[in-house]
Copies of this chain bind each other. A is one copy, B any other.
Amino acid sequence: MNTIISYIDENKDRYVDELSDFLRMESISSSPQHKDETFTCAKWVETHLRNIGIDHVEFIETKGHPIIYAEWMGAPGKPTVLLYGHYDVQPVDPIDLWTNGPFEPTIRNGDLYARGSTDDKGQVFTHFKSIEAYMKHHGSLPVNLKMIIEGEEEIGSENLQTFVRENKEKLKADIVLISDTAMYAKGVPTICYGLRGLSYFQIDVTGPNRDLHSGSFGGAVQNPAQGLAGMLASLKDKNGKIKIPGFYDDVRKLTKKERDAFAKLPFNEKKYAKTLGVKELFGEKGYSTLERVWARPTFEINGMWSGFTGEGAKTVLPSQAHAKISMRLVPDQDPKKIAVLFKKHIRNISPKNITVTLHEMHGARPALAPIDSLGVSAATEALKKGFGKKPLYQREGGSIPIVVTFQQVLGATPVLLGFGLPTDNPHSPDEHFNLDNFHNGIKTSAYFFDTLADMSK
A interface, CB within 8 angstroms of B: 30, 90-91, 97, 155-156, 182, 196, 198, 200, 202, 207-223, 225-226, 228-230, 232-234, 236, 240, 272-273, 276-284, 289, 292-293, 296, 298, 300-318, 321-324, 326, 328, 351-355, 361-362, 396-399, 422, 425-429
Contacts and interface: CB of A to CB of B under 8 A. Distances in A.
A97 B311 CA distance: 21
A327 to B, nearest CB: 9
A352 B300 contact: no
Given A209-B277, A362-B313, A293 B217 contact: yes
A303 B276 contact: no
A232, A278, A318 — which one has the most chain B CB atoms within 10 A of its CB?
A: A278
A366 to B, nearest CB: 11
A160 B427 CA distance: 51
B326 A313 contact: yes
B396 A426 contact: no
Nearest to A93: B310
Contact of A309 (B213, B304, B311): B304
A211 B300 contact: no
B302 A304 contact: no
Contacts of A315: 198, 200, 302, 326, 398-399, 427
A357 B158 CA distance: 41
A396 B215 contact: yes
Given A229-B304, A276-B208, A313-B302, A282 B215 contact: no
Nearest to A274: B209
B200 A313 contact: yes
B220 A283 contact: yes
Given A293-B219, A298-B219, A361 B313 contact: yes
B301 A303 contact: no
Given A276-B209, A278-B222, A301-B318, A328 B398 contact: no
Given A214-B302, A315-B427, 18 more contacts: A30-B311, A30-B312, A155-B312, A156-B313, A208-B276, A212-B276, A214-B300, A219-B289, A219-B293, A220-B289, A221-B276, A221-B282, A225-B303, A226-B232, A282-B351, A304-B305, A304-B307, A315-B326
B219 A284 contact: yes
Contacts of A182: 216
Contacts of A314: 30, 90-91, 302-303, 324, 427
A276 B313 contact: no
A226 B424 CA distance: 25
Contacts of A323: 225
Given A307-B303, A324-B308, A422 B216 contact: yes
B219 A296 contact: yes
Contacts of A90: 314
A386 B182 CA distance: 80
Contacts of A353: 278-282
Contact of A293 (B200, B220, B318, B352): B220
A30, A279, A321, A422 — which one has the most chain B CB atoms within 10 A of its CB?
A: A279
* Top 8 closest pairs, chain A to chain B, by CB: A209-B277, A215-B398, A219-B292, A233-B233, A225-B301, A303-B307, A303-B308, A229-B232
Contacts of A307: 301-304, 324
